[in-house]
Amino acid sequence: MTLFEHDGRLLVVDCGVLFPDVDQPGVDLILPDFTPILDRLDDIEAIVITHGHEDHIGGIPFLLRHKNDIPLVGSQFSISLVEAKLKEHRIRPTSTVVAEDETLDLGPFGLEFLAVNHSIPDALAVGIRTSAGTVLHTGDFKMDQLPLDGRITDLAGFARLGSEGVDLLLSDSTNAETPGFVASEREIGPVIDDMFDGVTGRIIVASFASHVHRVQQIFDAAHNHGRKVAFVGRSMVRNMGIAQDLGLLNAPAGLMVSMDEAVTLPKDKVVFMSTGSQGEPMSALGRMASGDHRHIKVEPDDTIILASSLVPGNETAVYGVINRLAMTGATVIHKGVAKVHVSGHAPAGELLYVLNTVKPSNVLPVHGEARHLQAHARLAVQSGVDPEQVIVAENGDVIDLVDGKAVLAGHVDNKLIYVDGLSVGDVGEPVLHERRILGDGGFIAATVVIDSENGKVVGGPTISAKGFSNDPNAFDDVLPLISDAMEQAASEDVSDPYQLQQILRRTVGKWVNDTYRRRPMIVPHVLEV
């Protein structure tokens, strides 16, 4: 989520989500921190959407919960995806559909939209003209010269803006460390078609639920080999339905079948098009891998194709799914062993093309981890941009653009906002720290009952534990230590329950550390009678 401010008005470009890492247990989504603008929602002219991927639109419903009439601006497919998502949140947005080569004035912001090629249809870059300067935000893009839909990145438009003078370029950095140029999507189709040859079992393909072009290639291969296709996974069904309605996905008559019909077909006559390419445990493929899917049980003669790249941070989850699928005896094909996917992001060679074409005065690498931003910054310097005019920013950094010069001017306090179930923001780092302790070392509850008058132990001590040990006698040795510690406290006239709880916690904690070299969560209970 990027926020632009000019003449007291605000413009939001994209509003996405992050997905949790393994050290964020229980978290479903991670949102931008809206706190710095909650008292200025009336100042927002619109939310401009560059494309419909979750990391660019997933946070919109949560922002619109605060003010549901903030206008949305984006391409037809992007707006359709957002509106379907908002319908689930019971929000009816105010939307404006735009296309490449169109312009739109929103308050002090003059917007121009340019086509960019990405792994989702209808992606847009946006030029933002103001009296303070001109900004070009590329969104996510690559420069496939032979895309399936014939829609290439508008380098001519980039060059035209560059000739007018781009004061600040915000450009996709995801593949900045990767040299060269991206392979064409057209190279994937024949590979997938060849994989269908000679397969006698079912074919299960997992892909991003928004990758319309990949799904089209699966349709084409299935049609060529006399197979029917069924969608598996709610987001796949929803997104591809939208793509079909908009004419972005073309299926020959009779190719698509329902799940109920698909499971009755001969194995060599069906393809399942599934979600779960990133190892998500609750996705369709994740449930197949764990044997929990209610329709599909993976069998040894199945062929499973993961037609996607590995999103950084998801490697462990993806390979876990691959291993579980392989244990069934099925054939598992992924990007590491066959050319079943190409990235949707421009590598270094293409980023240099953009830098040399636009010739921006200032560059702000966006969209990527720290190493990607730094790599992109080095490319900008190599292309001739003054090193002092290349800014690698962190979340919350404020960049001022004045008289054609961008400077890091300050920082807005912000934090990651965690979504856990239906709750937004009530889980923070202290709770996650406790969850990590529980996940690493388990839980021990120690209880003693004391006489409220003299502080002597009259019941217990007892210990119960979860996630610590299978040995029912594991805590026999610590019970007398607890009794001794409580008696010592009574002899010293220590009767305050809080102080006794701390003595109980220290006693158990020291014994666990000395005996097991572990650090479980210890919860002491001192009951007075």
SS (H, E, C) 212-243: HHHHHHHHHHHHHCCCEEEEECHHHHHHHHHH
The stretches of 246-369 forming alpha helices (DSSP H) are: 259-262, 284-289, 315-327, 348-358
340 marked ligand binding residue? no
Q: How confident is the model at residue 318 (pLDDT cuts 50, 70, 90)?
A: confident
Contacts of 527 (CB under 8 A, 6+ apart): 447, 448, 449, 450, 459
Mean pLDDT on 319-335 = 88
Mean pLDDT of 416-435: 83
pLDDT of residue 45: 98
What pLDDT does 313 receive?
63
Q: What is the DSSP letter of 167?
A: S
State the Cα angle at 133 between 402 and 404, rounded to 5°. 45
pLDDT-derived band of residue 98, with 50, 70 and 90 as boundaries? very high
pLDDT tens profile 61-72: 999 999 999 999
pLDDT value of residue 120: 95
Does the annotation list 341 as a binding residue?
Answer: yes
The pLDDT value recorded for residue 312 is 63
Task: Output the CA angle 423-427-428, nearest 5 degrees.
Answer: 150
What pLDDT, in 10s, does the model give residues 250-304?
999 999 999 999 999 999 999 999 988 776 666 788 888 888 888 899 999 999 9
Q: What are the residues whose beta carbons fall under 8 Å from the beta carbon of 27, sequence distance 6 or more?
A: 20, 418, 419, 420, 427, 432
Instruction: Please give the pLDDT value at position 487.
Output: 86
* pLDDT attached to residue 426: 78
Report whether 220 contacts 190 (CB < 8 A): no
**Is 442 among the annotated ligand-binding positions?**
no
> In the chain, what's the furthest Cα-to-Cα distance?
87
Q: How confident is the model at residue 177 (pLDDT cuts 50, 70, 90)?
A: very high
Distance CA 366, CA 402 (A): 20
Contact, 363 vs 169, CB < 8 A?
yes
If we measure between CA atoms, which residue out of 131, 128, 127 comes closest to residue 114? 127
Given a contact cutoff of 8 angstroms between Cβ atoms, the answer to whether 213 and 149 are in contact is yes
The C-alpha angle 60, 346, 10, rounded to 5 degrees, equals 35
Partnered with residue 65 across adjacent β-strands are: none
* 384 is known to lie in a ligand binding site: no
**Rounded-to-integer distance, Cα 34 and Cα 347, Å:** 32
CA–CA separation, 114 vs 143, rounded Å?
13
Q: What percent of the chain is predicted at pLDDT more than 90?
A: 68
Taken in order of first residue, the domains within the chain and their CATH numbers are: 2-181+343-424 (3.60.15.10), 185-333 (3.40.50.10710), 442-528 (3.10.20.580)
Summarize pLDDT for 33-49 with one digit per residue, the tens: 999 999 999 999 999 99
Euclidean distance between CA atoms 274 and 254, whole angstroms: 19
Task: Assess contact for 64 and 93: CB atoms under 8 A.
Answer: yes
Looking from the CA of 118 toward its CB, the CA atoms found within 13 Å total 23
Residue from 278, 288, 238 nearest 82 by CA: 238
- Exposed (0-12), middle (13-18) or buried (19+): which is 36, by Cβ within 10 Å? middle
Q: What is the mean pLDDT of the chain?
A: 91
At 113 the pLDDT is: 98
Q: Which conformational region is residue 410 in: left (phi greater than 0), alpha (psi within -120 to 50 degrees), or beta?
A: left
Residue 459 annotated in ligand binding: no
pLDDT band at 208 (very low <50, low <70, confident <90, very high): confident
* Res. 499 pLDDT band, cuts 50 70 90: confident
Q: What residues pair up with 272 in beta bridges, in sequence order?
A: 204, 230
Tokens describing residue 498 = 């809080």
Nearest to 212 by CA among 284, 147, 126, 268: 147
The pLDDT assigned to 406 comes to 96
List the one residue out of 346, 434, 22 whose CA is nearest residue 158.
346
